[in-house]
Amino acid sequence: MENPSSAVEVLVHGANTLFLLMGAVMVLAMHAGFAFLEVGTVRLKNQVNALSKIIADFAVSTLAYFFIGYWVAYGVTFMHPADQLVVENGYSLVKFFFLLTFAAAIPAIISGGIAERARFGPQLCATLLIVAFVYPFFEGLMWNGNFGLQAWLQTRFGAPFHDFAGSVVVHGMGGWLALGAVTLLGRRNGRYRDGRVVAFAPSNIPFLALGSWILIVGWFGFNVMSAQTLEGVSGLVAINSLMAMVGGTAAAWVIGRNDPGFLHNGPLAGLVAVCAGSDVMHPVGALVTGVMAGALFVWTFTAAQNKWKIDDVLGVWPLHGLCGVWGGLACGIFGQQAAGGLGGVSLFSQLVGSALGVLIALAGGLLVYGLLKGSVGIRLSQEDEFNGADLSIHRIGALSND
């Protein structure tokens, strides 16, 4: 008779592998959400380019992360015989797949900020450098304890930097990398006239809404399955994600005055913010976190476009960069036992970790896109931008009669 403990162990490994694989597939599906959110927001002449960037970026991200980035972050390589890779039902392979979908979200986030005027090839080069080196460096610091930073925060402030599902590690990094790219790329031609913003209306609100809904559904895999094992899964993460999502929606609906763009980005703002503390907050704390994130997105997107003249097409810096940092800080506030949370977090550690994420991402974005701008150029010509990225780059429009 087979050893019962051995049989149970095999069952546990198999269940954990399947659980994490389901999470990886759900987050993979979120990339369709990124694509359609961008397709619906950009003008019609740039829709094909939006779709093409997301899938091409994912392919480049996979290669960069498989061969370089995952090793930078975790010291793990897959250059071993296959019989060594299938240990524990190949759990280590599925874990790579799951974390890859997070890494690939970085260029998908940046894509929305630089839409309508970025060259295709240089953007793929930027994706390679970011996913191979910049993102994994910070990921390894915070999620693998590299260079002893987390141990120092634990000793100094009583708790390490806590980011359960990536408010800062993923979304904050993506948003602040995008700010560097948008700054170096410059504004779209015609976006500002006589110092005032010229409205570039979204091309397709239904596609924008579809993208938002795909992201919302996939986000429950993003957050809940960040536990990475069935033993660690928690219904608290699911409910906190839900409460933050509806909080962000309500705030964006009210403050955004029924604007469908704000309304469909509000839930995403709430979900970005709750990632970090979704496993330690009380649901009411998650609701407040989401409300604040939805309001923060509307206010800062409006200010960025109208006052600061930052031409961030999808508002990825306010949505992911600023709301991601807010999520890091909110974890340190609402994760405290005094605020109804589970405790084990330090606001000081959250401040340090969030600030470091901003610094690394902004510096990385300026460095990567600065090098590409100075060497090969990162922006379409004025004529190509006027004609649209679809015809200029892909030689075909989104509609059959284009």
Average pLDDT for the chain: 96
Task: Domains for the chain: give ranges and CATH numbers.
Answer: 4-196+204-394 (1.10.3430.10)
- 324 contacts 109 by C-beta, under 8 angstroms: no
pLDDT in tens, 236-282: 999 999 999 999 999 999 999 999 999 999 999 999 999 999 999 99
Beta strands 192-193; 196-197: pairing state: antiparallel
Share of the chain above pLDDT 90, in %: 94
Using CA atoms, how far apart are residues 239 and 129, in angstroms rounded to an integer? 36
Residue 392 per-residue DSSP state: I
Task: Identify the DSSP state of 379.
Answer: B
pLDDT at residue 1, rounded to an integer: 42
CB 263 within 8 A of CB 312: no
Among 325, 237, 209, 210, smallest CA distance to 23 is for 237
For the segment 76-90, the average pLDDT, to the nearest whole number, is 90
Q: How far apart are CA 161 and CA 280, in angstroms?
A: 13
Distances (CA, A) of 315 to 218, 236, 286, 318: 20, 29, 23, 6
Residue 193: which H helix or E strand, with range?
Answer: strand 192-193
Q: Which residues 6+ apart lie within 8 Å of 1 measured at CB? A: none
Task: Evaluate the CA torsion angle 373, 375, 378, 379 in order and state its sign.
Answer: positive
What pLDDT, in 10s, does the model give residues 126-169?
A: 999 999 999 999 999 999 999 999 999 999 999 999 999 999 99
> Which pair of tokens denotes residue 10?
């095999």
Q: Taking residues 174-190, what's their average pLDDT?
A: 97
Which helix (H) or strand (E) element contains residue 119?
A: none
Tokens of residue 325, six digits:
């940092």
Q: How far apart are CA 247 and CA 237, in angstroms?
A: 15
List pLDDT tens digits, range 2-55: 577 777 888 888 999 999 999 999 999 999 999 999 999 999 999 999 999 999
Q: Measuring CA to CA, which residue among 392, 389, 394 is closest to residue 117?
A: 389
Q: Is 158 helix (H, G, I), strand (E, B) or coil?
A: coil
Quote the percentage of the chain above a pLDDT of 70: 99
Q: Looking at 7-16, 20-29, 284-293, 297-306, which range is the least confident one? A: 7-16
Instruction: Give the pLDDT of residue 2.
Output: 56
Quick one: pLDDT at residue 297?
98
